[in-house]
Amino acid sequence: ILNVEQSPQSLHVQEGDSTNFTCSFPSSNFYALHWYRWETAKSPEALFVMTLNGDEKKKGRISATLNTKEGYSYLYIKGSQPEDSATYLCALHGSGNTGKLIFGQGTTLQVKP
């Protein structure tokens, strides 16, 4: 059974702090790693899809890195803002022939003004 682990489970930071979360996954059966941001009462919003070892992607103040050999990905938020408060999910995509994503439990970020 493939298991995706995210840490920490929750995080409280002050506005302006930079923060990072970890997503660990089995390095076998890897096709892609997805990151989503999920705000309460909204649909999960795609942040990044990463496929290559060493990949680094950036979207505004948010960036992510990928290490497929050791099975982890980091998500970084620089200068957190209250609007960054959300649950951040990572999901392992094991094969390009299927739409099955295996999600971690998520990291819930609360940014205090």
Partner 1 sequence: KAGVTQTPRYLIKTRGQQVTLSCSPISGHRSVSWYQQTPGQGLQFLFEYFSETQRNKGNFPGRFSGRQFSNSRSEMNVSTLELGDSALYLCASSADNYGYTFGSGTRLTVV
Which residues are at the interface with partner 1 (CB under 8 A)? 32, 34, 36, 41-44, 46, 49, 89, 91, 96-106
**Which CB atom, from 50 or from 77, has the smaller least distance to partner 1?**
50
Nearest-approach distance from CB 73 to partner 1, in angstroms: 16
CB 2 within 8 A of CB 104: no
Cis-peptide into 8, omega within 30 deg: yes
- Torsion angle defined by CA atoms of residues 50, 28, 3 and 96, in that order, rounded to the nearest 10 degrees: 50
Cβ proximity to partner 1: between 59 and 112 the closer is 59
> Quick one: 15 or 39, whose CB is closer to partner 1?
39
- In whole angstroms, the minimum distance from the beta carbon of 113 to partner 1 comes to 27
- Is the Cβ of residue 48 or residue 80 nearer to partner 1 in the bound state? 48
Shortest distance in whole angstroms from residue 110 CB to partner 1: 18
User: Closest Cα partner for 35 from 72, 73, 90, 106?
Assistant: 90
